[in-house]
Amino acid sequence: MKIAVLPGDGIGKEIVSETLKVLGRLGIALEFEEAPVGGAGYEAAGQPLPAKTLALAKRADAILFGAVGDPKYDTLESAKRPEQAILGLRKELGLFANLRPAQVYAELAGASALRPEVVAGLDILIVRELTGDIYFGQPRGIRPHASGGREGFDTMRYSESEIRRIARVAFDAARKRNRKVCSVDKANVLETSRLWREVVAQEAASFPDIELSHMYVDNCAMQLVRNPKQFDVIVTGNMFGDILSDEASMLTGSIGMLPSASLDANHKGLYEPIHGSAPDIAGKGIANPLATILSAALMLRHSLGQPAAADRLEAAVKGALRDGYRTADIYTAGTRKVSTADMALAVAERL
């Protein structure tokens, strides 16, 4: 099994290299091939997503991705910005289904900004559509405006088939969980959302065992901090999913804990932590590698057909937390503050 390894920028490099060490302890034949992406791609080949990197991603069985972005590229034209690498990979590889689980580990309930009783035992899954919406809709641009100045414009767009296929992913996922799907939209204002709601409701007819509800995105943002445990699976579009998944991540205490999977129609996938490249802490050895290690577990489960190895890896992460190991972002008094490398080592030892 061939894995394209794309560490990217900032802490991406250190969390990915530590994750590879952990994967090496699983005793599974995995072949790794690394390529530059994001700012690193721009430095190497003048493009955030160099042709060779894209070709490697296409030929691999799965992609392990770190993070991209650095403020030093903020002045580049948008096509050259590091973020284009991840957007390009999603689009080019048809990775339309983004799974972002938010789980609170018992050991970390105290690290959440919310009261422990609000988040203890939380286990929700955000299913975010990833290749449509205002992210990719045309036309878009900046043009002269009649008033004399300029105007910026983007287009929010969803086709019925795009909505249908992401709805199915959410209903299928709910079948393996608590059989509840909440579809999030802004149907009181947006045409896109009206169609979204209608199509999701139609699709629900094929899943009579799943309880479907609908919620406006602003209310959902509020409900996530008021009573997050009311949710099981949340399905939503690209833009709302981007925002709600960052919000959900903080329920768990640290954005450094959350993995994600971005899947195509055939279970090929790109696996990445949901956090960014954190240039302010890059190279200091303090970044939390667990989101990337947990992303690798999702990769074993969803793309590599190794569910038992995925379970072992997740159990090892829980073991390290149970034994008190904490990187700075999840540290609380009475636990043991460790570096990126020592956290990964703690996981590896427990395999």
Q: Which residues are catalytic?
A: 135, 186, 218, 242, 246
Q: Under 8 Å CB-to-CB from 299, ≥6 apart: which residues?
A: 3, 62, 64, 261, 269, 271
40 is a contact residue toward ligand IPM (CB under 6 A): no
Instruction: Please state the closest distance from residue 81 (CB atom) to ligand IPM, in A.
Output: 9
The whole-angstrom separation of Cα 286 and Cα 54 is 30
CB of 83 to ligand IPM, least distance (A): 4
Which among ligand IPM, Mg ion, none contacts residue 83 (Cβ within 5 to 8 A by kind)?
ligand IPM
Residues 70, 39: contact at Cβ < 8 Å?
yes
Q: Applying CB under 6 A, which part among 79-87, 114-122, 151-159, 330-338 lies near ligand IPM? A: 79-87
Is 129 an interacting residue with respect to Mg ion (CB under 5 A)? no
Closer CB to ligand IPM, 228 or 259, in the complex:
259
Q: How many residues bind ligand IPM (CB under 6 A)?
A: 4
Is 108 an interacting residue with respect to ligand IPM (CB under 6 A)?
Answer: no
Nearer to Mg ion, 133 or 242 (CB): 242
Cα separation, 11 vs 289, in Å, equals: 9
Q: How many beta carbons lie within 10 A of that of residue 301, not counting itself?
A: 21
C-alpha to C-alpha distance for 176 and 349, rounded to whole angstroms: 30
When CB distances are held under 5 to 8 angstroms depending on the partner's kind, the choice from Mg ion, ligand IPM, none that residue 129 binds is: none
120 binds, among ligand IPM, Mg ion, none (CB under 5 to 8 A by kind): none
Q: Is 83 in the site for ligand IPM (CB under 6 A)?
A: yes
Q: Please, what's the b/e burial string for 277-289 (b: 16 or more CB within 10 A of its CB; e: otherwise)?
A: bbbebbeeebbbb
Q: Decide if residue 86 touches ligand IPM (CB under 6 A).
A: yes
Query: Distance of alpha carbon 304 from its chain centroid, rounded?
Result: 18
* Residue 14 contact among Mg ion, ligand IPM, none, beta carbon within 5 to 8 Å by kind: none
Report how far residue 22's alpha carbon sits from residue 348's, in angstroms, rounded to the nearest whole number: 5
Of 44, 45, 76, 87, the one binding ligand IPM (CB under 6 A) is 87
CB-based contact 28:270 (threshold 8 Å): no
Q: At its nearest, how many Å lie between ligand IPM and the CB of residue 70?
A: 12
Q: Crossing angle for the helix pair 340-350 and 12-24, nearest 10 degrees? A: 20
123 close to 233: Cβ distance less than 8 angstroms? no
CA dihedral sign, ordered 270, 273, 278, 284: negative
Within positions 214 to 273, which residues make up the interface with ligand IPM, using CB under 6 A?
A: 242
Shortest CB 274 distance to Mg ion, Å:
7
Of the pair 237, 309, the CB lying nearest ligand IPM is at 237
Q: How far is the CB of 234 from ligand IPM (least distance, A)?
A: 15
Binding residues (CB under 6 A) for ligand IPM: these are 83, 86-87, 242
